Structure formats: structure tokens, C-alpha cells
Amino acid sequence: MESHAEFLRRVSLDEELAAALRRDYTQADLTPADRALCDYVAKLTRDATRVTPADLDRLRQHGFTDVAILQINLIASWFNYINRVADGLGVGRPGATTAAKETP
């Protein structure tokens, strides 16, 4: 999460927004469309089996096309995947690099 917030800070040059999102996106000053996007991504991340057609309809109501929804899904899913790969290898955790080198 830290690396994602840092990326947003650098790209947007909005340190306040990046900090607010890092703390709790639900409390950040977001547009309704951005809030809907974040709600969808949070649900997808926590338990993708709970995503329903109503979640997709909510995104559409905020102006997201089906192509945009697919892109949101693919990007969020890729980040979830790569985070799990990194976590499983101990990337970015103190002392984890030596643990990842150990053989069972």
C-alpha cells in the first residue's frame, strides 16, 4: 500500500490526497465517481466473490463504461496478484530476504 500511495503522490503531486487515501480512503475528499471506484476495488480486493451486478451498475451510474470497468478490474486484480507474490517472497519486509532464501 505504501508504494501505491507514494506512486499516487508523485504522479498527482497531491501529497494531501495521497496521505488521506493512505489513512482511510472512505474519509478522503473524493468525487462520487472516485468513491464508487474505490469502493468497488476494495470489495474486489477483500472478496471478489461478493461483487454483484449492482456493484457494476453503480460504476456505470457514475459514468464508467464497460471497458473502463474492465480496466479497473484488471489493474486492481494485477496489483492484488503482484502484492501476494511479493508478500509470499518477503519482498519489502525487514529480515524477510534471508527467510526467502532458506530452504525447508
Q: Are 67 and 58 in contact (CB under 8 A)?
A: no
14 pLDDT higher than 80? no
CA end-to-end span of the chain: 29
Give me 52's grid cell.
Answer: 454483484
51 pLDDT higher than 60? yes
pTM of the model: 0.75
What is the distance between the alpha carbons of residues 93 and 2, in angstroms, rounded to a whole number? 12
Helix orientation angle between 53-61 and 32-47, rounded to the nearest 10 degrees: 160
Range 31-97 has CATH code 1.20.1290.10: yes
More confident residue, 8 or 57: 57
User: Whats the size of the chain, residue-wise?
Assistant: 104
What is the distance between the alpha carbons of residues 61 and 58, in angstroms, rounded to a whole number? 5
Residues 70-88 have pLDDT tens digits of 999 999 999 889 888 988 9
Q: Are 18 and 7 in contact (CB under 8 A)?
A: no
pLDDT at position 66 is 98
pLDDT at position 57 is 98
Domain edges within the chain: 1-29, 31-97
